[in-house]
Amino acid sequence: MKIADDMRRLGFRRWYERQLIESHAYLVTAFLALILLLAGIESLDYLRGSPLFYIAIIGIAAGAGMLMIITWRRFITLLARAEQFASGADCPQCKTWGRFDVISAEAVSEDDPVESGRPHWVRVKCRKCGADWRLG
């Protein structure tokens, strides 16, 4: 229900904008982690040191790789969810985009991970003409 609550509190347009900003922040983080991963791999060829140093560099590179994978998946999930809701955000009667009130949403438990994309649908009502429809 966090998505529906955020849409109620912020309005759809601001919620959508924040989803795009947050998802692109994850994209930048994934890109920086990729650079760190590649720098760690590249440094193994040029630096001579103790075996402990190599293990530390490999550990840092592996951590950066895991961070990259996690943030990339989070980027894709947030962007896809925002686009899913944005694609149906225009009123079927008056064609106004993103000006509606949230009526209800698919039930979501606190245990659902963000990657599940829940809620899959949100029921909304147009502020201009009063028509209701389902997003998602």
41-62: pLDDT as tens digits = 888 877 777 888 888 889 999 9
> pLDDT-derived band of residue 117, with 50, 70 and 90 as boundaries?
low
Question: Quick check: pTM over 0.75?
Answer: yes
Residues of the chain with pLDDT > 90: what percent?
A: 49
Q: Are 91 and 128 in contact (CB under 8 A)?
A: yes
**CB-neighbour burial class of residue 37 (10 A; exposed 0-12, middle 13-18, buried 19+):** buried
Nearest alpha-carbon partner for 71 in 38, 34, 42, 41? 34
pLDDT at 115: 56
Mean pLDDT of 84-92: 91
